[in-house]
Structure 1
């Protein structure tokens, strides 16, 4: 993508330094628009991104040349190119979810008949790295691989927040905010700190309709050899899940223990 910025600048006589960076941001917006719409025409991209049509035509041509987009001429629209798949594959590889962790998440999904998740720190973010679900036990609506919003309102996010130092937690929350996603979302820093203290003490986080209505989630942290929380294993389901709390607690703690043994080098892959 850096080549794209240089190409845009070099392709336009008299272009000033820095214009290529602006074009790069616009190109990324176009990629996001195409991804969100599952393919779009140039006019649809322009409408979605609020860019002039000539700008869209110029940038999509460059994106097609670089294999980030493909032009389906007979359908008069653009879809994602193969290079985007390469980037996504590289991201999954860099996150490197071990086989033992994937197996533990899949086992939770099957044993409890719920959607199950593995969440990790990635830089200063909390991200979903792996999901096991099915049509009978679907993942949280709008939640997908890589999502890192709303940690204060999710069980797995609370586990990860509880694993941070107070300074790291303040920095994270200052950057991401604490918006109300439902009427029961915790939006007070003081209340969240009290809640996270309980999470740290009990080792398990529950949230009841804080992220989405009619949704209940629970999570437990997995630790490395130094005892630090490096990930969280979580499950989600309907409000009836709250009535299965003892069963869910046992299953989550068992899964987290298996993961911790592996992550600390005490278990096999």
Structure 2
């Protein structure tokens, strides 16, 4: 199965103290804990340096030392995460709407927020019967040309700015169905802009489809998107019902975000 990881280039070495500290936090988060040796190997950092930085992070509450010589994330990161959730508008009423979208459709449901010029996934609700697309975790914002909510962002951009954006990010072929020709993508985005809904059929991950509608402010400014995804065929024949459901949820989420609830 093809994912966006194939499109990424190797990360540059972490040389500064801050970069190394952040790299350690990322490794611990990805692995649900890591030993000092694992951190040293993953980041190509000397073991004494790992111990020195880990001691500072532990003292500040960003890491905690547990049995068997492993480090896990500390409580301070939870506080930062809660603050981030408040900043992006993740109140209980908003997340409840995403849960209702999942329950009403039987599909994985997503909320993405426009932040820093990117459409960023901030909440996902799924189930064993219809799991989320694995790369679409909190903070995901890659490959907008290949995702339904990403197409909403691109369709909303001024054409000149969009061309510059795509020149910087590229049109990488993630599957055999990914649109990589600028003219073909522009034509699709014109349809997305006109209809106010974006569809994606096996363009991001082969065998999985997605649909998304925008969440807008009272002045029609783009705030974010609500979306659903499922295995190929689970959206087919349900397009009108899914569109209606997505638009209803989008309207309620937009109202909640505008009112600050």
Residue in 1 aligned with 2:56? 62
Note if 1:252 corresponds to 2:222.
no
Measure the CA separation in 1 of the matches of 2:86 and 2:221.
Answer: 23
Note if 1:23 corresponds to 2:17.
yes
Note if 1:44 corresponds to 2:51.
no
Residue 245 of structure 1, CA deviation: 1.6
Q: What is the aligned residue count?
A: 246
Residue 188 of structure 1, CA deviation: 2.5
Residue in 1 aligned with 2:109? 116
Measure the CA separation in 1 of the matches of 2:146 and 2:47.
Answer: 40
Residue 39 of structure 1, CA deviation: 0.6
Measure the CA separation in 2 of the matches of 1:51 and 1:125.
Answer: 32
Residue 260 of structure 1, CA deviation: 4.0
Relative to structure 1, is the Cα distance of residues 86 and 262 closer, same or farther in structure 2, using a 3 angstrom cutoff? closer
Relative to structure 1, is the Cα distance of residues 91 and 175 closer, same or farther in structure 2, using a 3 angstrom cutoff? farther
TM-score, structure 2 as length reference: 0.87
TM-score, structure 1 as length reference: 0.84
Tell me which structure has the larger Cα radius of gyration: 1
Which whole-Å deviations, capped at 9, do the CAs of 1:22-58 have from their partners, x for residues lacking one? 1111111111111111111111111111112222122
1:179-198 superposed matches below 5 A:
179-198=172-191
Where relative contact order (Cα < 8 A, 6+ residues apart) is larger, the structure is 2
Measure the CA separation in 1 of the matches of 2:134 and 2:215.
Answer: 25
Decide whether the 8 Å contact of 1:185 with 1:211 is kept in 2.
yes
Measure the CA separation in 2 of the matches of 1:87 and 1:223.
Answer: 27
Residue 198 of structure 1, CA deviation: 0.8
Which whole-Å deviations, capped at 9, do the CAs of 1:107-133 have from their partners, x for residues lacking one? 211111111111111112210122222
Measure the CA separation in 1 of the matches of 2:60 and 2:252.
Answer: 44
Unaligned segments of structure 2, at least 5 residues: 1-14
Measure the CA separation in 1 of the matches of 2:196 and 2:240.
Answer: 14
Measure the CA separation in 2 of the matches of 1:178 and 1:58.
Answer: 42
Unaligned segments of structure 1, at least 5 residues: 1-20
CA RMSD of aligned residues (A): 2.0
